């Protein structure tokens, strides 16, 4: 098998990096879209608290109800990029405690991701 030049290796790494970033962006958007939004002063709190960490959860919680754009911390190929939501009630919503999202948010999105049907990933 021929050895790749440093230039070719760099191009492949850059292509992989871009593909992963697109996948993370699409997954983040889908998690937000699927997050139920209640009524009252905390409407949108779940949607606004999706976070991205590298090799660890980002436990940050905000009281703002408008989601921020995704910020992916610096990462390298081989790292784990973790999307999470640290609100106390997020787990309950994932397991059926919402009439707006009775099948949850994360599990449905993960199934889409694994099946290759997650919009924006191709």
Read out DSSP for the chain? -PPPPHHHHHHHHHHHHHHHHHHHHHHHHHHHHHS---SSTTTTHHHHTEEEEESS---------SPPPP-PPP--TTPPEEEEE--TTHHHHHTT--SSSTT-SHHHHHHHHHHT--TT--
Q: What is the mean pLDDT of the chain?
A: 91
**Mean of pLDDT values over 44-61:** 96
Q: Kindly report the pTM of this predicted structure.
A: 0.87
Nearest to residue 46, comparing CAs of 105, 4, 109? 105
Confidence of residue 1 (pLDDT cuts 50, 70, 90): low
Phi, psi of 28 (to 5 degrees): -60, -45
The 10s digit of each residue's pLDDT in 12-49 is: 999 999 999 999 999 999 999 999 998 888 899 999 99
- Stretch among 21-25, 75-79, 92-96, 118-122 having the lowest mean pLDDT: 118-122
* pLDDT value of position 120: 61
Q: How far is it, in rounded angstroms, from Cα 49 to Cα 63? A: 8
């Amino acid at each position: 098998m021929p050895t790749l030049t440093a230039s070719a290796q760099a191009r492949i790494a850059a292509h992989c990096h871009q593909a992963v970033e697109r996948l993370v962006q699409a997954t983040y958007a889908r998690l937000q879209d699927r997050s139920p939004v209640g009524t009252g002063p905390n409407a949108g709190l779940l949607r606004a608290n999706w976070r991205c960490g590298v090799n660890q959860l980002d436990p940050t919680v905000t009281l703002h109800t408008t989601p921020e754009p995704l910020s992916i911390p610096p990462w390298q190929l081989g790292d784990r990029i973790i999307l999470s939501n640290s609100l106390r009630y997020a787990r309950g919503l994932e397991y059926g405690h919402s009439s707006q999202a009775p099948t949850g948010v994360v599990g449905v999105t993960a199934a889409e991701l694994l099946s290759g049907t997650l919009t924006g990933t191709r």
